[in-house]
A = this chain, B = another copy of it.
């Protein structure tokens, strides 16, 4: 059979094809994937190419799409043009499908970018007496007719005006399988989403360019709900039992997100109206409050959330200012106190597709623990508490500029300050480090007692002098007033040590109970992942030394950064990963520690400040 050669420029790739093959098929044989959202029906105009030689007569479809000078230059639709001789084709870059992949930092893998929001620039044929199709039908047919009905009346209302004013050159915004909006001209690249990790204490927003998955800007700030209560429990009470309490907390959450979006869009030079979707993770209470769902079921046993499965909500309904038809994807949660943030950690760390015995610990205001082995996944939440974020600690603070985050004791004490300025407080990792060192040199007893100066004769003088009495309470000074930002001493009190013990024993007991469910002991853990800011700053040696985590060889312990935020970004970048998150939420077995036999004994045992097996 006769074959003709088709050469694609500018790459100069050639293939030999039978007569009547479409240029679109020939391109596929040559390894070039061209856009054809209408399914090769000649309607969408996305596969427009320029035939440099061998162009035949234009079809009536093509005469509807191209101006006569374009036709004269050889512009044709690849799906409609059939090969009838040797052909040379110039493929413009906009006709090529570019597969974007993003690297996932720290995890050594790439994901395919497949956002839920797709923008597509189209040049529709104008209506005529022979083609008086309705505006909406003209549009959906150009998109291949595979969409559901638009659920946006606003879009249908704008359609007649936009089509006519823009000369039928428009960009469609498809969210999921619904046509959400249209815009005049080609705005396909102005397409953004925001991944949000809303923590009890901190909120982080990543502004992402959807077509490429790249982060355009990041912004973070304190959760303003903290003004109504530092911990989850006090906010639950306010939202469940006080008039307007839920609405106040809801507005605080959406206000915080609006602020972060404002900062990120300003930094990146992006308009808010170019943001079409948010993906949100957070603990179960935080996602309830953001959605304005009464968390009455979370306030008491058996801790029942209002929803488990992922929710899609209009951003406007939450008071979040993005595109007026923008949506908010709230990731699924696992149970009463194990939320979408834990789903995100599992997704980011791939604990759902793991070999061997692995543990992830995400320490924020709450501490969530996941244990994975093969296909089994268990998760729990501990009231580990805000100690690691500096709350309930006398001079505690978040891991921000001015926080003492590392402490060493030799002849005297040395510390490191975040931001390298003067110290103004102590953050979670600094507290763990300090207590670990004080236990090592004998200033703090294994049981947690802070010794009096007269009981520590063996420690170096400069260290001993840091033990002072203040209002009858013993304190250990990390930084003297002359060194500090405020001019006041920065010290650890006996009560601070106690808070740390309560927090760390909850984590340790949680890890060991979950492992027991799988029939394992802590020493058998092959990989222990530390998620969250705290996990990034903490010295692994110290965490092991005070028995916060099991005494594993250090090479098995890996900080993985803000895995919850990364998971939110992955869910924004890929609908496949969104589905995977939903499978995770369904698969994970939620363990309520307080209902586990032996939990309180385990908790009490883990109070000791020493390496725990």
| Chain A contact residues, CB within 8 Å of chain B | 127-129, 131-137, 149, 151, 153, 156-157, 159-161, 164, 291-297, 301-314, 317, 333, 335-336, 590, 592, 595
Closest to A318 in B: B153
Given A160-B297, A296-B160: A307 in contact with B127 (beta carbons within 8 A) = no
27 contacts between A and B (CB under 8 A): A127-B297, A127-B304, A129-B301, A132-B304, A132-B336, A132-B592, A133-B304, A133-B308, A134-B308, A134-B333, A135-B297, A135-B307, A136-B306, A137-B307, A137-B308, A149-B310, A153-B292, A156-B291, A156-B293, A156-B311, A157-B292, A157-B294, A159-B293, A160-B295, A160-B306, A161-B296, A164-B297
Q: Smallest CB–CB gap between A439 and chain B, Å?
A: 38
Q: Say which residue of B137, B293, B313 sits within 8 Å of A160 (CB atoms).
A: B293
Cβ B157 vs Cβ A304 within 8 A: no
Tell me how far the C-beta of A144 lies from the nearest C-beta in chain B, rounded to whole angstroms. 15
Contacts of A304 in B (CB 8 A): 127, 132-135
Instruction: Report the 9 A-B pairs with minimum CB-CB distance, sorted nearest first.
Output: A134-B308, A132-B302, A136-B307, A134-B305, A129-B302, A127-B304, A160-B294, A135-B306, A160-B306
Residues of B within 8 A of A131 (CB): 302
The number of times this chain is found in the oligomer is: 2
- List residues of chain B with CB within 8 A of the CB of A595: 129
**How far apart are the CA atoms of A297 and B160 in the complex, in Å?**
7
Contact status B136-A308, CB under 8 Å = yes
Known contacts A127-B302, A304-B127, A296 near B164 by CB under 8 Å: yes
For the complex formed, measure the closest distance between the CB of A27 and the CB atoms of chain B, giving whole angstroms: 33
A295 neighbours in B (Cβ, 8 Å): 160
Residue in chain B with minimal CB distance to A305: B134
Tell me whether A309 and B149 are in contact (CB under 8 A).
yes
Q: Which residues of B contact A149 (CB under 8 A)?
A: 309-312
Question: Hey, which chain B residues are within 8 Å of A160, CB to CB?
Answer: 293-297, 306
Decide if A335 touches B132 in the complex (CB within 8 Å): yes
In the complex, chain B residues whose CB is within 8 Å of the CB of A293? 156-157, 159-160
Give min CB distance, A487 to chain B, whole Å. 50
**Chain B residues within an 8 Å CB radius of A159:** 293, 306
Contacts of A127 in B (CB 8 A): 297, 302, 304
Instruction: State how many angstroms separate the Cβ of A320 from the closest Cβ of chain B.
Output: 13
Q: Are A151 and B153 in contact, with the CB atoms below 8 A? A: no
Are B296 and A137 in contact, with the CB atoms below 8 A? no
Please give, as numbers and ranges, the residues of chain B lying within 8 Å of A153 by CB-CB distance: 291-292, 311, 313-314, 317
- Known contacts A156-B306, A157-B294, then 14 further A-B pairs from the complex at CB < 8 Å, ordered by chain A residue: A127-B304, A129-B592, A132-B336, A132-B592, A134-B307, A134-B309, A135-B306, A136-B307, A149-B309, A153-B311, A156-B291, A159-B293, A159-B306, A160-B306
